[in-house]
């Protein structure tokens, strides 16, 4: 265990160097995508983001396996909900979603120099302590869906620290689905806690991660609470069966 702790910190130093180095290579191309409006701009941004994250994973000895991409039907866009166990979840999940997508994200991280340029380009920002910001972000998510772009949401709100397969879900993603009629694609991440564990500061461990997309779920005939309960049940059962 002591050797693993030492190696984990060495890998963390290397991971930080690779993350920053590869980020600096794409920040200028990402900046140019701000000039491309709407869905096309998001699509170009995601191409750069995917190249960045895949390069980072390769150079740090990690890889991600994607399953269920066929559940995204051509010409359709969805609300994609993802479980959240580790800080690496957001960087790896949005590049794996087939097609242009934005994610709901905390405004605080957008203030980090250089990284904030990339972070803001792929996000709908929200200050969760500000009611007006929450309302604005909800309208922005509707606009994202209206232009044909996927909207990625982490319904647990933050990393799951409950000891259960999934933490309770917040209402936002399900209200958004009912209001817009957009189907929800449930997505499950596996083994991300091996790479960046919650309770080990400055620790990184190379591992294979997986992202599984399940069949879309329609909001038809359901209110937000019933839809939330249904999706929680589906995702929890799948996670338990495959973890």
Contact yes or no for 80/97 (Cβ under 8 A):
yes
Backbone angles phi, psi at 26, to 5 degrees: -105, -5
Mean pLDDT of the chain: 96
CA dihedral over 231, 93, 68, 72, signed as positive or negative: positive
Average pLDDT of the residues in 18-27:
96
Alpha-carbon distances of 150 from 77, 98, 113, 232, rounded to whole Å? 5, 9, 27, 20
- pLDDT of 243 strictly over 90: no
Domain assignments of the chain as residue spans, ordered by start = 2-242
Q: How many CB atoms lie within 10 A of CB 29?
A: 14
pLDDT (tens digit, 9 = 90+) per residue, 115-124? 999 999 999 9
pTM over 0.85: yes
Q: Check residue 1 and give its pLDDT.
A: 77
CATH of the domain spanning 2-242, picked from 1.20.1640.10, 3.40.1130.10, 3.30.2270.10, 3.40.50.1950: 3.40.1130.10
Cα–Cα distance, 239 to 234 (Å, whole number): 9
**Which residue has 């937000």 as its token pair?**
224
Give the tens place of pLDDT for each residue, 58-113.
999 999 999 999 999 999 999 999 999 999 999 999 999 999 999 999 999 899 99
């Amino acid at each position: 265990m002591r050797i693993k702790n030492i190696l984990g910190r060495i890998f963390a130093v290397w991971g930080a160097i690779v993350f920053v180095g590869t980020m600096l290579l794409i920040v200028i191309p990402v900046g140019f995508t701000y000039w491309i409006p709407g869905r096309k701009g998001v699509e170009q941004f995601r191409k750069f983001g995917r190249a960045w994250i895949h390069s980072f994973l390769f150079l740090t000895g990690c890889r991600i396996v994607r399953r269920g991409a066929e559940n995204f039907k051509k010409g359709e866009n969805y609300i994609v909900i993802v479980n959240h166990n580790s800080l690496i979840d957001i960087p790896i999940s949005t590049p794996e979603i087939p097609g242009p997508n934005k994610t709901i994200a905390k405004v605080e991280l957008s203030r980090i120099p250089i990284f904030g340029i990339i972070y803001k380009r792929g996000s709908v920002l929200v200050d969760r302590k500000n009611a007006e910001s929450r309302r604005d972000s909800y309208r922005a998510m509707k606009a994202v869906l209206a232009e044909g772009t996927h909207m990625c949401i982490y319904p647990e709100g933050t990393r799951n620290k409950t000891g259960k397969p999934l933490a309770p879900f917040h209402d936002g993603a399900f209200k958004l689905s009912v209001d817009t009629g957009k189907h929800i694609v449930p997505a499950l991440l596996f083994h991300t806690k091996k790479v960046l564990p919650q309770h080990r500061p400055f620790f990184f461990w190379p591992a294979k991660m997986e992202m599984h997309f399940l069949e879309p779920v329609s909001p038809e005939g359901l209110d937000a609470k019933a839809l939330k309960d249904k999706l929680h049940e589906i995702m929890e059962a799948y996670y338990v069966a495959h973890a």
